[in-house]
Structure 1
Amino acid sequence: MAGSGEHFKALVRSHASGNDEAFYSVALQVAAQAARRGHHNLATDLKTAVESSRAGSPAKVTSIAQPRGELSELVVASHPTVSLKELVAPGHLGEQIKRVLTEQRQSKRLLDHGFEPVHRLLLEGPPGTGKTMTASVLAHELSLPLLTIRLDSIMSKFMGETASKIRQVFEAAEIQRGIYLFDEFDALGGDRTGNDVGEARRILNSFLVFLENSSSESIIVAATNHRSILDKALFRRFDMVLDYDLPDPKQAAAVMRGRLGSIAKGVRWSALSEFVDGLSHADLVRAAEDAAKTAILTGNSSVGTDELRSALQSRRTASIG
């Protein structure tokens, strides 16, 4: 029988107190545990029973692909069109992303043998280096919606209710398959050593429990710009940690070529190497766009090395300033 003794005690307590939402939440956790143990029919039956029971209740979970009500205040839904080939990443990072896609596409084969596909990812690195784009790529390649959860907004807007709001998101993830991006994750996962330990620790512990019990049908992605401040307890809870960094000159050229396309004819990319140092993927894209607009507005049909050099210099000045 899937489900721990603690789960069953929680089911009894929530039923006795008349707390339907708590009852359904624990039932979904049991379903997720059943799926991880290979009891797929039981997991499906439990989830179907929860959905059916909630169908006549005003507190039912709304499909998060089209969030309404309270969920519309917690997430932003989108359907990205960014493909894997558009993502410029070093070899090892690209292989990690391909591995996630392969395991998700062949999840049934893995589950039939008692193994879960990778579905809990931590993305860390400087701003503008492709973390959000990676979530978009996963959504597009797997034909799933991307649901972005802004933790900083939840924690400030729903003070005292943060854990319950996060629970709502994880419950919805059990019902609606998707890519769930917890952006600016350091707002929640930062190592707490000050006076706010109590509430922050409770919220973090709740998140860790939800993460641990999450099923492999949806992919949970946490993105942070500040790995160094994350609580160490977090790292072992994720299936894979992906490290992002600023692009080298070769990758920088690939990023700009990808944005400019055919209008980048004749650019001497090697002459731009010293001007891309310290710029992120996002900076490079904006510089390429600035150069393209300059060329177009001056009557040129292509972007030259000079326009790109000038745009990169301006972007470096803005970034340093």
Structure 2
Amino acid sequence: MATAEQLKALVKSYADGDEAQFFSIAMQVAAHAARQGHARLAQELRALVDQAKARGGQVAPRRVEPPTPLAQPRGELSGLLSVSYPDTRLSEMVLQPGVRDRLDRILREHKQSHKLREHGLRPRHRVLLVGPPGSGKTMTAAALAGEMQIPLFTIVLDGLITKMMGETAAKLRLVFDAIRSTRGVYLFDEFDAIGGQRNAPNDVGEIRRVLNSFLQFLEQDQSDSLIIAATNHPELLDHALFRRFDDVLEYDLPAGELIERTILAKLGTFAPEDLDWKSLGKSAKGLGYAELARACDDSIKEAILDDRSSVTTQSLLRAFDERRAARRS
């Protein structure tokens, strides 16, 4: 059987998330068991370690998170927040390498936040996403919620912004109270409606007070939630906002290789080997990820109804044109 020191070292390596050390100590326990005459136990321990390594298993620390209630926002919050429980993953998205690396860093910091807090540090929890429509900002919020297995709360701007002086700021306080009490990913989409420049020509006092309140609430937030703001118009945002966020991620519409990867990922087994990528790349230019995905779905549906096992270049070109026409209508 394992010694007391081995047991303590095993638990410590698990708590630290040190995979190599955990497996090393487990093998030491197996060797010790063999020397004590417990050959069967030693063999089973070695087999378990080998299986875990073959699966790519990772030793990760566990922490007790605040409970996440599976319920819709109630009372006044019901008009301010909409909730969903995404199963989207980052692996399903086609992202620029730099953006993907920074998202992975955010996830890593949240999954091992206890390590950071032991040194007086906090994970990135205030993220600003900027880029044109269809570049993947909203899907990123869903993917982060899915990866972290927490709900995605989207702030309903129609319910938040009112004409009554002082009422919007009061509602914003309710939202930040929810951020503190219920762990989740909180998405402020079309964020320029709140974060517009305070010296803009069309500025009114109410919007200026709302922005000041938002900045104050953002600075004071000490929750375990992840706050995401997304905008198609970063040039409209007040300059003070940018330094209040832990990360600012810039998105672009897919181009070149990213168009090809997006199409192949969406088509899956319906992708033939003879697609005309030059024509497809030219036709798909300017379309967002969501538009490309819907166009691929349309082409797959056509193939299924025509009893074909794959799509054609022509069906994809038609689908891209239809998506572009739908945008103009």
TM-score range, shorter chain: 0.7 to 0.9
1:145 pairs with 2:138: no
Give aligned pairs, total.
262
Structure 1 residues 276-306: Cα deviation after superposition (integer angstroms, max 9, x where no partner): 1111111111111121122222222221222
Cα separation, partners in 2 of 1:190 and 1:277, compared to 1, 3 Å: same
Structure 1 residues 164-193: Cα deviation after superposition (integer angstroms, max 9, x where no partner): 111111111111111001111111011142
Structure 1 residues 145-177: Cα deviation after superposition (integer angstroms, max 9, x where no partner): 000002244214876411111111111111111
How far, CA to CA, are the matches of 1:302 and 1:134 in structure 2?
29
Letter in 2 for 1:72: S
1:97 pairs with 2:94: no
How far, CA to CA, are the matches of 1:308 and 1:289 in structure 2?
9
Residue equivalent to 2:292 = 284
Correspondent of 2:318 among 303, 307, 310: 310
Contact 2:129-2:249 within 8 A present in 1 as well: yes
Correspondent of 1:258 among 262, 265, 269: 265
For structure 2, which runs of at least 5 residues remain unmatched after alignment? Answer: 1-65
Q: What is the Cα deviation at residue 65 of structure 1?
A: 4.8
How far, CA to CA, are the matches of 1:74 and 1:226 in structure 2?
23
1:225 pairs with 2:232: yes
Letter in 2 for 1:242: L
How far, CA to CA, are the matches of 2:249 and 2:129 in structure 1?
5
Correspondent of 1:171 among 164, 169, 177: 177
Q: Secondary structure at the match of 1:237?
A: coil
Pairwise CA RMSD: 2.2
Amino-acid identity (%): 51
Letter in 1 for 2:254: P
How far, CA to CA, are the matches of 1:298 and 1:306 in structure 2?
14
1:205 pairs with 2:212: yes
Normalising by structure 2, we get a TM-score of 0.75
1:115 pairs with 2:121: yes
Cα separation, partners in 2 of 1:120 and 1:269, compared to 1, 3 Å: farther
Letter in 1 for 2:231: T
Max radius of gyration: which structure?
A: 2
Contact 1:130-1:281 within 8 A present in 2 as well: yes
Contact 2:79-2:159 within 8 A present in 1 as well: no
Contact 2:107-2:148 within 8 A present in 1 as well: yes
Contact 2:179-2:223 within 8 A present in 1 as well: no
Cα separation, partners in 2 of 1:279 and 1:195, compared to 1, 3 Å: closer
Q: What is the Cα deviation at residue 270 of structure 1?
A: 2.0
Q: What is the Cα deviation at residue 320 of structure 1?
A: 5.3
Cα separation, partners in 2 of 1:269 and 1:71, compared to 1, 3 Å: farther
How far, CA to CA, are the matches of 2:163 and 2:300 in structure 1?
40
Structure 1 residues 56-112: Cα deviation after superposition (integer angstroms, max 9, x where no partner): xxxxxx968531111111111100011110011000000010010011111110111
1:235 pairs with 2:242: yes
Quick check: 270-279 or 76-85, which moved more?
A: 270-279
Q: What is the Cα deviation at residue 312 of structure 1?
A: 1.6
Write out aligned runs for 1:31-70 (5 A).
65-70=71-76
Residue equivalent to 1:298 = 306
Residue equivalent to 1:154 = 160
Normalising by structure 1, we get a TM-score of 0.76
Letter in 2 for 1:116: R
Residue equivalent to 2:87 = 81
Letter in 2 for 1:308: L
Contact 1:249-1:276 within 8 A present in 2 as well: no
Quick check: 70-79 or 270-279, which moved more?
A: 270-279
Q: What is the Cα deviation at residue 243 of structure 1?
A: 0.5
